[in-house]
Amino acid sequence: MIWRMKRKVILLYKTVYIHVFNILFFVLLFGIIYFLLNYHISTMTLKSIKIVGSMQKNMFECLLNDFKYDLIQFSTDNDIISMDKSKISKRIDFIKYYKSDYKDIIVINNKKEILNGYVGDVKEYMYSEHVLEALKGKPSISDAISIEGKWYVDFVSPIINGEKQIGIISLRISLEEISDHLRFENQDGSMEVYIVDKEGYYLTSGKGNMRKIGENNINISELKTNIDYAPRTHYRNYDGDNVYGSYYNLSFGEWTLVVESLQDRKSLNMITVISMVIGVFVQFLMNKILNMSHRFWERYDKYLLK
């Protein structure tokens, strides 16, 4: 009688052990499969981001180099160097006819007199950081400038005659024009590219309806830290979407090019389903093996009781 009671207790413990083992095994197996599949998809996503980011960075650097080249060419033009208002006006009209990207070309002499172009508040413009830098002989770039509801940026360079600086020249470019150069859409529209300045203000438009060029900004330091220390971890962007990202420091103006890809919900759901299917299948096999083992020990116990 006592032996039978002990046997029932042992069988009960075995049954509980099998169920607990099954649950733990399934959870562990599901977690491992989910992690491996998610790791693979995140790796492929990050590779795609890196490829797109490198291409867009090179494309934009070429665009910046074109602006720099134009600045050098214009600043050494004889009509510009003459500091004659009439000659400068005619020359710039000619340039703008062939260079439609430039909204305006501003020329200022060392006396801070505007020889060509529109600057709005003259005093404010003259004491802006990028103009003061250029007057010291250093090429610079302005923050985003709002004119009649549209946003622009000025690329500024000193004008040199021989070894003497005689003024500055500024190319005013529409940020929408720059956005057009960065248009990128992958097939499902989950990836985008945009540029922010050193303060994190958007310089190019994006897919997000909440963003406005020159008005909305992100915490660029936090974004860079997130990407540097946890590149495989998604973060929440300005629009509230979970994204993977990568960034590239540009060589001019302390601008940053950012590439973001939405966390793929379809892939995430697919990973969950695949993990569960594989987990259930393996669990089924394990149950078969454990049941066979359980029946073996039951027969063995009965044999000992005879």
259-289 pLDDT, tens digit per residue, is 888 765 555 555 555 555 565 556 565 666 6
How many CB atoms sit inside 10 A of residue 132's CB?
Answer: 14
Instruction: Tell me where in the chain the CATH 3.30.450.20 domain(s) lie.
Output: 38-62+178-266, 79-174
Please determine, for residue 1, whether its predicted confidence score (pLDDT) is greater than 80. no
Confidence of residue 240 (pLDDT cuts 50, 70, 90): confident
pLDDT at 247: 92
Task: Please tell me which residue, 258 or 188, carries the higher pLDDT value.
Answer: 258
How confident is the model over 208-226, as pLDDT tens digits? 545 667 777 788 888 888 8
How confident is the model over 195-212, as pLDDT tens digits? 888 888 888 776 654 566
Confidence of residue 96 (pLDDT cuts 50, 70, 90): confident
How confident is the model over 57-77, as pLDDT tens digits? 888 888 878 888 888 888 888
Phi, psi of 108 (to 5 degrees): -130, 135
Please determine, for residue 186, whether its predicted confidence score (pLDDT) is greater than 50. no
Tell me which residue of 149, 221, 215, 207 sits closest to 179, measured CA to CA: 207
pTM for the model stands at: 0.69
Superfamily name and number for 38-62+178-266: PAS domain (3.30.450.20)
pLDDT at 54: 86
Domain 79-174 -> CATH class:
alpha beta
Enumerate long-range contacts of 45-52, CB under 8 Å, 24 or more apart: 45/244, 45/261, 45/264, 46/231, 46/232, 46/244, 46/246, 48/186, 48/191, 48/261, 49/191, 49/244, 49/245, 49/246, 49/259, 49/260, 49/261, 50/246, 52/184, 52/186, 52/191, 52/193, 52/259
